Homo-oligomer: A and B are copies of this chain.
Amino acid sequence: MTQNIYDDAGFFAGYSQLRRSVDGLGGAPEWPTLQSMLPALTGKGVVDLGCGFGWFCRWARDAGAASVLGLDVSANMLARARETASDAAIAYRQADLETLDLPAASFDLAYSSLTLHYLEKLAELFATVHRALVPDGRFVFSAEHPLYTEPGPDYLDEGPRTSDWLAKGVVKQHRTLATYLNLLIDAGFTVRRVEEWGPTRAEIAAHPEWKIDHRRPSFLLVSAAR
């Protein structure tokens, strides 16, 4: 089973301090790009794979979604999501995305933010998501960009990478960009948009605290259609 680092007390405390945890979607620099890749949500059914504190679930409701299912492996995250706001049309459920079961043809949008790079078994999840979407439903996700997970000379060597981000021994799964796309295609998806997100030079100049001196992408954003 995939490491559940979000229920590590030290990691959770650190994660809770991140700007994207405090400010939500507006604190995530890649959000405007990811948002531009989303379909209209009015009256739609949405599932969020790795919903964390529920920022996107609440945003989707504000954007008109009829119902939202937020899934996360972390009890800590779900508890925080549930206590932040009450909305009968948002259901939060603890789930291991590697053994997930979803009803067929039940969602118009599957969304996932910065979760998939933790999973070992992605092909199985993509098949589950494909089956759970209605025809022409959309799967929009972000993941850590492969060049962020593996900035060194071993880009083509896929597999686990261990880093000390917020806690010691955080395990992420390095996959090439081609592998992400081929897994989608093999699951039956049509790739509609691929974005390799990194801050612009102007953003880097405006945020010296980021201490970024390169233009390698941080995040991979993908939109696919069933």
Contact = CB atoms under 8 A, between A and B. Distances in A.
Interface in A183-226: 185, 190-196, 198, 213-217
Nearest to A157: B215
Total copies of this chain within the assembly: 2
B196 A185 contact: no
B156 A198 contact: yes
Contacts of A192: 185
A157 B200 CA distance: 9
A199 to B, nearest CB: 9
Interface string A94-109: 0000000000000000
Among A177, A185, A217, find the residue whose CB has the most chain B CB atoms closer than 10 A.
A177
A156 B190 contact: no
Interface band, chain A: 20 to 34
A81 interface: no
A177 B196 contact: yes
A147 interface: yes
Interface in A158-187: 176-178, 181-182, 185
Contact of A215 (B155, B181, B190, B213): B155
B153 A215 contact: yes
Contacts of A190: 190-191
Given A156-B217, A178-B196, A191-B191, 13 more contacts: A147-B155, A155-B217, A156-B196, A156-B216, A157-B215, A176-B217, A177-B194, A177-B196, A181-B191, A182-B193, A182-B194, A185-B191, A185-B193
